[in-house]
């Protein structure tokens, strides 16, 4: 049973890493992006069979929060579950010291792209 569980985790990791590469390549085309941070189980390396890709995207934009998410999801058309947060630089600066979720992401996260 443990061997089967391990193979499911490895398969999920390969799937997530492959999809993450595709996502980063697609997002690099957006010149407003300041950086992309990976957070969650993939960043920590404790992937399970149900892990998703968690990312914080910081970009210069005047769009409302939900409109930013719609734009990103429609651009990416993801093949796996994503947990994406899109903040302006000002929002991110304010939240990285006050929002527990963002603080944890900063602590455990990895910068994947910073032009």
Q: What is the rounded average pLDDT for all residues in the chain?
A: 93
Element of type H or E holding 18:
helix 2-27
Note whether 33 and 59 are within 8 A (CB): yes
Class of domain 2-113: alpha beta
Task: Answer yes or no: is pLDDT of 76 > 60.
Answer: yes
Question: 30-54 pLDDT, tens per residue?
Answer: 999 999 999 999 999 999 989 999 9
Task: Answer yes or no: is pLDDT of 66 > 90.
Answer: yes
**Residue 41, Cα to own-chain centre: how many angstroms?**
11
Which residue ranges make up each domain of the chain?
Answer: 2-113
Cα–Cα distance for residue pair 101/1, rounded to 1 Å: 34
Share of the chain above pLDDT 70, in %: 97
Phi then psi for residue 77, to 5 deg, are 45, 70
Note whether 73 and 84 are within 8 A (CB): yes
């Amino acid at each position: 049973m443990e061997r089967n569980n391990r193979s499911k985790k490895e398969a999920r990791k390969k799937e997530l890493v492959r999809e993450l590469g595709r996502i980063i390549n697609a997002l690099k085309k957006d010149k407003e992006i300041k950086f992309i941070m990976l957070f969650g189980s993939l960043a920590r390396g404790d992937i399970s069979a149900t892990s998703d890709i968690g990312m914080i995207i910081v970009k210069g934009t005047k769009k409302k929060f939900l409109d930013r998410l719609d734009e990103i999801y429609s651009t990416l058309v993801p093949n796996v579950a994503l947990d994406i947060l899109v903040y302006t630089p000002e929002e991110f600066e304010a939240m990285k010291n006050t929002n527990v979720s963002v603080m944890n992401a900063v602590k455990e996260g990895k910068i994947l792209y910073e032009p």
